[in-house]
Chains A and B, each alone.
Chain A
Amino acid sequence: MVSIDVRNAYVDFPIFDAKTRSLKKKVLGKVGGKIGTESKVPIIEALHDVTLSLKEGDRVALVGHNGAGKSTLLRLLSGIYEPTRGSARVVGKVAPVFDLGVGMDPEISGFENILIRGLFLGMTRKEMEKRLDDIAEFTELGDYLAMPLRTYSTGMRVRLALGVVTSIDPEILILDEGIGAVDAAFLNKARDRLKDLVRRSGMLVFASHSDELLIELCDTAVWMDEGHVRQHGSLREVLTAYKGKDPFKNLSREALERIGQAPAMSGD
């Protein structure tokens, strides 16, 4: 049974190279987490008392301003960060896709990167070799896969990363913004595959600034603001509160039918 249970979790980053300058001034800007100043080392409170529990079948959109803690929360949910206070329990095989490009070795070929990513996600070498053809076909990268990754464009890297996570069967799929870097045709293809994957896999958490993608893939949403959960509810409610307008209004009729939503919110 796949589940994520985060209780009163804090993520505090110590910033060792920030000198006294940041100690003297208490910075409390709109962008970024709070910067604590009590201790000797300045601390960025990236996540502040986050409580969140997700269960099998959840398809969660993550919205919020830059620096609101979306990526940090995704890393917490992946188990990369363990909370400094509070607790986080993640049950299930996690497959995350963060800022693309980082974490992949630019000097080795696409094939090698696919293999390494697969091994990291708990696959065996044999299993990955079986999937190589499928990934090559899906990503449409063809002969490029034999080229070193540094020759790839951002969009091509996204294709590769998506190819890997969608070819395996993760139980928890975590996507950070940035998958918007691919072209429309590929996005359509990826969308179908992602939808299919989400149906099969237990859980999706997806951070994005693109309403359209979120509407297609998610049904609930979490609004992050200054490191804490500002709102957690149905996608439409949260997006409307976050954007100040109902994003479903502008959608075409077909799109709405596809996702099975009414053209306007009840009582609107």
Chain B
Amino acid sequence: MTATNPTPPVSDSRTFKRAIEDIKAGVSHRELWSHLGWQDIKQRYRRSVIGPFWITISQGVIALGLGLLYSQLFNLHIQTFLPYISTGFIVWTFISGCLTEGMETFISNEGLIKQMPAPLSVYALRTVWRQTLMFVHNLIVYVIIVSIFFTSLNHQYGLQEGVCTDVGLCHPGIGWYSLSALPAFLLLAINAGWVTLMLGVISTRYRDIPQVISSLIQLLFYLTPIVWPVDQLYHGGGREAVSWALPFIHLNPLYHFIQIIRAPLIGQQVSINSWFVVIGITVVGWVLALLVMRNYRARVSYWV
């Protein structure tokens, strides 16, 4: 039966068709990745009494601690600063989780990849879904804090004094536009998809990459306005920020990702530029991820 063919059929392993099929098939295995993602969370808090709500509690403690500390350090109004820092921190936790666990996504699923034929994107979706579930748990902290300080946020306010003054930024306050945080999060999750696929494949091949990225993440946390507000750059009177700092902030893509979610949630204004930057990154990122998937999708099971 070992017939030899003079022209062996060309393998289609390295085609966009297969890469896109992988992603389509991955998405259609919804029951599988959603189950696996939820399983991960249950597993992490196995045998603990309050289970996944430890996520909420630890997030709450961090937000409260940092909020109290930095409001004193920066001399900021706590009723408006605490919502700012906790919301930013929740979004950051999602982003850094997707980066650190996303790049490990294939490495940590080695056993399954070698045992079960399944689209690679299933594992990426498992990771993103797990992070999304954690984000939802963390959102409880946001809901609690914003309901406590709602009266400080439902009108125009500034972070320094709690009310708008001549100095610094004046925020419009929470309103119906705050719902734009929903599509913003969806966009962030879509970005988590390409990050996980692309970094996952690269990190599986080059095991130094996860180390590089995790040290960068630490730095990015301090560079991005999360614990410190952009409002801090507006001082010395007027509504002009310290000029050298602004381009530095706006060139940081993570700022825009955080901003499109955080700002509406706590009643701040989002620059339309942030949306453009995020949409641009989404498109470019997915193109890159598809290229990586086309070339190296079939290699991942060899590399893990």
| A interface, CB within 8 angstroms of B | 7-8, 13-14, 16, 51-54, 75, 78-89, 94, 96, 98-99, 102-103, 105, 107-108, 112, 115-117, 119-121, 124-125, 229, 232
Task: State the Cβ distance, A128 to closest chain B Cβ, in Å.
Answer: 9
A103 touches B9 (CB 8 A): no
Q: A86 to chain B: which residues have CB within 8 Å? A: 8, 11
| B interface, CB within 8 angstroms of A | 1-5, 8-13, 29, 31-32, 35-36, 39, 43, 46, 111-118, 207, 298, 301-303
B117 touches A116 (CB 8 A): no
Task: State the Cβ distance, B25 to closest chain A Cβ, in Å.
Answer: 10
Q: How far is the CA of A80 from the CA of B111 in the complex (A)?
A: 12
B115 touches A98 (CB 8 A): yes
- 17 pairs, A vs B, C-beta closer than 8 Å: A7-B8, A53-B3, A75-B301, A78-B117, A82-B11, A82-B13, A87-B9, A94-B117, A96-B115, A96-B116, A98-B114, A103-B112, A103-B114, A105-B39, A107-B46, A116-B32, A117-B116
Given contacts A96-B115, A125-B31, 8 further A-B contacts (CB under 8 A): A14-B303, A51-B4, A75-B301, A80-B114, A98-B115, A107-B43, A119-B35, A125-B35
The listed residue (B2, B8, B31, B112) touching A232 by CB distance below 8 A is B2
Task: State the Cβ distance, B110 to closest chain A Cβ, in Å.
Answer: 9
Q: A105 to chain B: which residues have CB within 8 Å? A: 39, 43
Instruction: Tell me the nearest residue of chain A to B205, going by C-beta.
Output: A16
Q: A98 to chain B: which residues have CB within 8 Å? A: 114-115
Task: State the Cβ distance, A27 to closest chain B Cβ, in Å.
Answer: 20
B8 touches A120 (CB 8 A): no
Q: How far is the CA of A161 from the CA of B40 in the complex (A)?
A: 21
B1 touches A232 (CB 8 A): yes
B11 touches A83 (CB 8 A): yes
Task: State the Cβ distance, A210 to closest chain B Cβ, in Å.
Answer: 22
B9 touches A89 (CB 8 A): yes
Q: How far is the CA of A16 from the CA of B208 in the complex (A)?
A: 12
A87 touches B35 (CB 8 A): no
The listed residue (B5, B8, B35, B111) touching A103 by CB distance below 8 A is B111
Task: State the Cβ distance, A122 to closest chain B Cβ, in Å.
Answer: 8
Q: How far is the CA of A98 from the CA of B185 in the complex (A)?
A: 40
Q: A103 to chain B: which residues have CB within 8 Å? A: 111-112, 114-116
Q: How far is the CA of A13 from the CA of B302 in the complex (A)?
A: 6
Q: How far is the CA of A9 from the CA of B6 in the complex (A)?
A: 14
**Of residues B13, B29, B31, B116, which shows the largest number of chain A Cβ atoms within 10 Å of its Cβ?**
B116
Q: How far is the CA of A44 from the CA of B4 in the complex (A)?
A: 24
B35 touches A116 (CB 8 A): yes
Q: A229 to chain B: which residues have CB within 8 Å? A: 2
Whether A51 touches B35, Cβ cut-off 8 Å, given contacts A80-B114, A102-B111, A103-B111, is no
The listed residue (A8, A79, A115, A119) touching B8 by CB distance below 8 A is A8
A7 touches B298 (CB 8 A): no
A96 touches B2 (CB 8 A): no
B43 touches A81 (CB 8 A): no
Instruction: Tell me the nearest residue of chain B to A121, going by C-beta.
Output: B116
B31 touches A51 (CB 8 A): no
Q: A108 to chain B: which residues have CB within 8 Å? A: 39, 43
B32 touches A119 (CB 8 A): yes
Q: A119 to chain B: which residues have CB within 8 Å? A: 29, 31-32, 35
A80 touches B117 (CB 8 A): yes
A80 touches B113 (CB 8 A): yes
